[in-house]
Amino acid sequence: MKPAAFLWLLLTSALSWTSHAADRGAAISAAAAATRYVTVAGDKIAYRRIGHGPTIILANRLRGTLDTWDPLFLDRLAAQYTVVTVDYPGIAYSEGKLPDNMADAAKFIDDFANAIKAERFVLLGWSWGGLVAQTYLLDHPQRVTHAILIGTNPPGQNEIPLQQVFLDRAFKPVNDLADEEVLFFEPASEASRAQAKASHTRIYARSDVAARIPSTPEEFAPYFKAAEGFRQDAEGRRDRLAQARTPILVISGDHDTSTAGQNWFPLIGKMQDAQYIFFSKTGHAPQHQHPVLISNYIHSFLSASH
């Protein structure tokens, strides 16, 4: 081979490798991911995308923002999937108005998926986002390949209500680590408190995280109204969920003072294609207490169920 041809081969191989690495998003972590914007129903909506592979869209909790997901959990998922986080309308980096009913919140997810050109995807919902995810998979079953429900309640009336100890801290304008231990972890467990501190440190490595978290009664009101409608269940979602054919993974902690995992016990045996993981000494954010283990469970679920 002539020297010029050899050099050209080396150059094109290097460019090909560089392009492949970029496509995989290998250099982008959740902590460093840039905020992107897309227009949804006339509103400028903020989202982030990391990883490579089948798409997982994450629906956030009450008061959750792009910044409040544990980046280690996102990074572990992004090793095998395209992970998309999004701010609801009117929340944090997004413009617009937060929907005050679950049907409209689910429609937002559908419109957002269209805007980012995600035809089929996995939908993961945490807490309030789990209510959104359940509504979406019932309203748009053709688009969701799998649903993952973390720290959330099923539709309708549930035996164990939200507890006062959660309410006492949930709506402070700013929650510190001590609040988070109560809200999302198991404060009686030394191991859980240690994981709370580690997760808090990872999340707050970004600047100005607290500044964008909803903090006023006016911002809370649409969350409450939508959740109450989900609980009243005039649409019969509880019965419809039991008949849903979409593979569903439910992940709960045994010390969830907001959406008790035990509320799934009457329903889980009636569901058509569901798996249930129940963690001991774990609170409302099992994916932040066990980010590596839960990402592995999610991969096993997605790999095994079709």
Instruction: Say if residue 274's pLDDT is above 70.
Output: yes
On the CB side of 260, CA atoms within 13 Å amount to 14
What is the tens place of the pLDDT at every residue in 167-192? 999 999 999 999 999 999 999 999 99
Confidence of residue 306 (pLDDT cuts 50, 70, 90): low
pLDDT tens, residue by residue, 98-130: 999 999 999 999 999 999 999 999 999 999 999
Average pLDDT in the chain: 92
Give the chain's end-to-end CA distance (angstroms, integer). 49
**Is the confidence at residue 211, as pLDDT, over 50?**
yes
Q: How far is CA 15 from CA 1, 9, 53, 61, in A?
A: 20, 10, 21, 41
Q: What is the pTM of this model?
A: 0.91
What is the domain partition of the chain in residue ranges? 36-304
**Does the pLDDT value for residue 3 go beyond 90?**
no
100, 226 in Cβ contact below 8 A? yes
pLDDT for the residue 83: 98
Q: Whose CA is closest to 253, among 276, 277, 275, 282?
A: 282
Residue 138 has pLDDT above 60, yes or no: yes
According to the model, what pLDDT value does residue 5 have?
44
The pLDDT, as a whole number, for residue 22 is: 39
In this prediction, residue 27 has a pLDDT band, given cuts at 50, 70 and 90, of: low
Q: How far apart are CA 82 and CA 105, in angstroms?
A: 22
What does the pLDDT read at residue 212? 97
Contact 85, 111 (CB under 8 A): no
Q: Tell me, what's the pLDDT at 292?
A: 98
| Range with lowest mean pLDDT among 3-12, 50-59, 136-145, 157-166 | 3-12
Domain 36-304, second-level architecture: 3-Layer(aba) Sandwich (3.40)
Mean pLDDT, residues 34-50 taken together:
98
